[in-house]
């Protein structure tokens, strides 16, 4: 084979592979907050005494609030999900963050929500808005086991300043839109704002990808995350949607890069 043919093969092989994978990939809607009346249930990832959150749906909108009787610590972290959602190992969840009243309110997407092996706790994979050191333009990917001595492990921090604003004085106003999906040990998410169109999952400049640790490819439910609400705080959401997926993700095909900081999960203890 001549050098010219070899070069074209090197160039075309990733494109052909992406096309084959795309042809084998499909998604099935499993929940739409605008039309589905299935109740949402929640589970604690980290408890804070007897603190709770209240969930109230009006049409397509969801309000999550912290009762005034909650403690001032604001350490409660929960996942919530449709009660009749399918248990799958490949899934997707999306949400629009409409408003928040607390400074440190933390929103996110949660996937593979499932009981721990002993049935006493909850496992999940999340992508959340960072609140550490008020770096709200960064997004964190964690894996969780609520029964473990250290219930969360930080896998990666992604700088999304080019999308949501790069400092606290120039953040893009809500709404922010976030979608995440998982298949095997591949976790991906995208973020966009306002009336901008959703980026394509083929866009490497928009899709953030994190490889999960071994053992985190179990089946669970798709849903969402909320945490750190101070007493009296209220967060509102819309466009709550989930899907079950079949097949393997095609890798993004564009070449635009973004700034992603990967973290060694065996050494970090940074708080979500």
Question: Is the Cα dihedral 187, 39, 234, 52 positive or negative?
Answer: negative
Of 130 and 248, the one with more pLDDT:
130
User: Residues 131-138: what's their mean pLDDT?
Assistant: 96
Whether the upstream peptide bond of residue 237 has omega within 30° of 0, thus cis, is: no
Q: Residue 207: which of 253, 252, 177 has the closest Cα?
A: 252
70-109, pLDDT tens digit by residue?
999 899 999 999 999 999 999 999 999 999 999 999 999 9
User: Residues 113-142: what's their mean pLDDT?
Assistant: 97
Q: Quick check: 122 and 115 in contact, CB under 8 A?
A: yes
Of 141 and 258, the one with more pLDDT:
141
pTM (predicted TM-score) = 0.88
Decide if pLDDT at 10 tops 60.
Answer: no
* CA gap 39, 101 in Å, rounded: 24
- For all residues of the chain together, what is the average pLDDT? 89
Q: Which residues pair with 188 in a beta bridge?
A: 181, 209
CATH architecture of residue range(s) 27-262:
Sandwich (2.60)
pLDDT of residue 150: 96
Secondary structure letter of residue 20 according to DSSP: H
200-235, pLDDT tens digit by residue?
999 999 999 999 999 999 999 999 999 999 999 999
């Amino acid at each position: 084979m001549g050098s010219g043919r070899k070069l074209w093969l090197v160039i075309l092989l990733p494109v052909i592979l992406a096309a084959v994978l795309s042809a084998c990939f499909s998604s099935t809607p499993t929940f739409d907050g605008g039309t589905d009346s299935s109740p949402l249930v929640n589970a604690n990832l980290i408890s804070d005494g007897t603190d709770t959150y209240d969930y109230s749906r009006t049409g397509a909108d969801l309000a999550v609030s912290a009762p005034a009787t909650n403690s001032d610590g604001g350490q409660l972290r929960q996942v919530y999900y449709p009660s009749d959602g399918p248990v799958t190992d490949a899934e997707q969840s999306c949400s629009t963050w409409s408003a928040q009243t607390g400074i440190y309110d933390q929103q996110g997407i949660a996937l593979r929500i499932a009981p721990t092996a002993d049935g006493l706790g909850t496992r999940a994979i999340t992508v959340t808005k960072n609140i550490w050191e008020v770096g709200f333009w960064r997004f964190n990917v964690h894996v969780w086991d609520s029964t473990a001595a250290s219930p969360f492990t930080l896998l990666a921090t992604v700088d999304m300043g080019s999308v949501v604003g790069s400092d606290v004085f120039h953040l893009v106003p809500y709404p922010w839109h976030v979608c995440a999906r998982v298949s095997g040990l591949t976790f991906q998410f995208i973020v966009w704002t306002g009336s901008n169109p959703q980026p394509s999952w083929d866009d490497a400049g928009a899709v953030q990808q994190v490889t999960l640790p071994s053992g985190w490819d179990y089946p669970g439910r798709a849903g969402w995350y909320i945490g750190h609400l101070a007493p009296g705080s209220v967060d509102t959401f819309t466009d709550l949607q989930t899907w079950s997926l079949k097949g393997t993700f095609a890798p993004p095909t564009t070449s635009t890069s973004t700034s992603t900081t990967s973290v060694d999960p065996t050494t970090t203890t940074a708080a979500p």
